[in-house]
Structure 1
Amino acid sequence: MQKSLAEIARRWLTRKPESLSETEKGVLQSAIDRRTISRDINAVHEHGMSTGDRIADSIARVGGSWSFIITFLVFLAIWTIGNTVLLSVEAFDPYPFIFLNLVLSMIAALQAPVIMMSQNRQSERDRIDAAHDYEVNLKAEIEIMALHEKFDDIRHQDILVMREEMATLRAVLERIESRLPETGRPA
C-alpha cells in the first residue's frame, strides 16, 4: 500500500504538503521509500574541514586543557624565579618582566582568535547535529505512526474475521436448535 507524500503529510503531520520544509519533505520521502536518514555527522564534519580548521581545533584542544594550564603555570614560575633569584645579576628579563609580558600578549593575541574560530565551527556543528536529530526524531515518529496504523489494520481485519466466524457459528447453532424438538429446548 504505497502512500503519496501529500497523503502522509496530511495524515501523520496534520499539515498541508505546501507548508512542509525541505527537510520534512525529505524525511517523509525517506519514510515512503523505506530509506534510512541517519548518518555519521562526525564523518560529514571531518570531510569538510580544511587544514587551517584542523590546526585551529588542535590549538583550541591543547590550549583549553588542564595539562596546558599546569605546564604554562610551571613555565611562568620557572621564568619568574629564574629571572629574580637565579639570574639576579645578569637576568635577561628583570622585574617587572617586560619581555614576558610581550610574549604573553602575543600568545594571547594569536590564541584568542584561533579559539574563537574553533568555537564558531563547534557552534555550526551543533546546529547540524540539532537539525539531524530533528530529522531522525521526525522519521521515528512517522514510523511509529505507520506501525500503529498497521496494527490497527491487522486488529480490524481480525475483528472482521471473528464476526464472520461468529455469524457462521450462530447459523450452525440456529440449525441445530431448529432440529431439536420443542420439549428438549432449554427454557
Structure 2
Amino acid sequence: MTEPRGARLDTPKDLRRQPLLRRPAYDSDAFGSFAEGFARYMGTARFLIWMTAVVVMWVLWNSLAPEEVRFDDYPFIFLTLALSLQASYAAPLILLAQNRQEQRDKVIAEQDRQANARAHADMEFLAREVASLRMAVGEVATRDFLRSELRSLLQDIEERAEERARESAQGHATEAEVEPPTT
C-alpha cells in the first residue's frame, strides 16, 4: 500500500524558511591565512614606518598646501576616520590570527602530549626489559665462573687419577708380596 504524497502525521513539518539572501560563501582557511599575513605585516617595522610616513605626509599636505588642494581641513577629521577604520578592521583580523594560532598550538600540544605518552610507555617497557635482562644475567654463568668450575673439576679428576694410580701401585706391591717368586 503506497502512502499519499501529502503531509504525513507521524513526521514534523519543516518550519525553516528559505532565506531571501544567501550568506556569502568564503573559504575560511584562505581568509584565515589572509588575516594571519595581515597581522604579521602589521607587526613589522616596515608597516610602522609606512604608516608614520603616510600620517606625516597627510598632516604636512593638509597643513602646508594651498587651501584649494587640501582634502582634509583642520582638525583632520578624515585622517581620524581613516585611522579608526584601519583600526576597526585590524583588531578583528589580529584576533582571528591569534585564534588560528591558538588552535594550532592546541593541536601541537596534543601531538606533543601523545608523543610524550608514547615515549613514556616505551621507556617503561624498556625499563622492564632491562630489569628482566639483569635478572636473567644474574642467573647465567659467567666466563670466569665457568673457568673456576672447570679448574676445580680438573683438580678433582687429577686427584682421583693420582689416588687410583697409588691404589693400583699399592695393589701391585701387595700382590708381589703375596705371590711367591717362581723359579
Q: 2:111 aligns with which of 132, 136, 149?
A: 132
Matched, 1:66 2:45: yes
SS in 2 for 1:50: helix
Tell me the equivalent position of 1:145.
124
> Unaligned 5+ residue runs, structure 2?
1-26, 164-183
* Partner Cα separation in structure 1 for residue 77 and residue 109 of structure 2: 47
Change beyond 3 A, Cα 1:90–1:175: closer
Tell me the equivalent position of 1:52.
31
**Paired residue type of 1:74:** A
Bigger CA radius of gyration? 2
Q: Deviations over 1:111-155 (max 9, x none)?
A: 111111111111111111111111111211221222222222233
* Partner Cα separation in structure 2 for residue 49 and residue 146 of structure 1: 44
SS in 2 for 1:162: coil
Tell me the CA shift for residue 109 of structure 1.
Answer: 1.0
CA RMSD of aligned residues (A): 2.8
TM-score, normalization: structure 1? 0.61
Matched, 1:76 2:81: no
Matched, 1:173 2:173: no
* Partner Cα separation in structure 2 for residue 111 and residue 130 of structure 1: 28
Tell me the CA shift for residue 81 of structure 1.
Answer: 0.8
Percentage of matched positions with identical amino acids: 27
Tell me the CA shift for residue 89 of structure 1.
Answer: 5.4
- Select between 92-101 and 154-163 the one with higher mean Cα deviation: 154-163
